[in-house]
Amino acid sequence: MRKSNPTPLPNLWIFCMEWSLTHFWLILALVLCLAELTSGVLLLLALGIAAALTALLAFLDVPFEWQLAGMGIFSGILVPVAIRWIRPRFSPKGVAYGTTGTGVEQGRRYQTLKRDFDGATGIKVNGDFYRLRVTDTGETDLPEGTDVIFKQFDGTTAVVETITHKEQ
């Protein structure tokens, strides 16, 4: 009786695509650009573009050390460009994003608004609606158009003081 040789296992690399550094840089660029959708700061987008440009270096068979140097150079150029010159073009004039809740709004006058879907009373600070509470009475429902002075935030509630008191 003849002993048969077992059939060799197929080489999985034949069935799968061979990955290269170009693919790595392109996948990194895609992940960074998709992550930018969650942040909105343009930093990750700049890094994603830098990774895509580095993929071009990898496609041209530049050594890995020079690819890393290229990524650093591209990032060093694109990140400041994105943050200093491109990001301000996407922001409305006069709105200082990232300052809400730091106290810069304290003492400013606002007019109350009524929200359409639930009738809640609040004020808009930097374009965002915040429900309100009056400091003296704890009241949360004021007529629309009432002048108030912002005092502070208590969680996501704007604590305000009415300018015209109802006692008068």
Q: pLDDT (tens digit, 9 = 90+) per residue, 32-78? A: 999 999 887 789 999 999 999 999 999 999 999 999 999 999 999 99
Contact yes or no for 22/55 (Cβ under 8 A): yes
SS3 assignment, position 165:
coil
108-162 CATH, one of 3.40.50.2300, 3.40.50.300, 1.10.3720.10, 2.40.50.140 = 2.40.50.140
More confident residue, 6 or 148: 148
C-alpha 112/C-alpha 100 separation (Å) is: 18
Q: What's the start-to-end Cα distance of the chain, in Å?
A: 113
Domain extent listing, the chain:
20-90, 108-162
C-alpha 43/C-alpha 71 separation (Å) is: 14
pLDDT at 104: 73
How buried is 160 (Cβ within 10 angstroms: 0-12 exposed, 13-18 middle, 19+ buried)? buried
Q: Work out the average pLDDT over 146-166.
A: 85
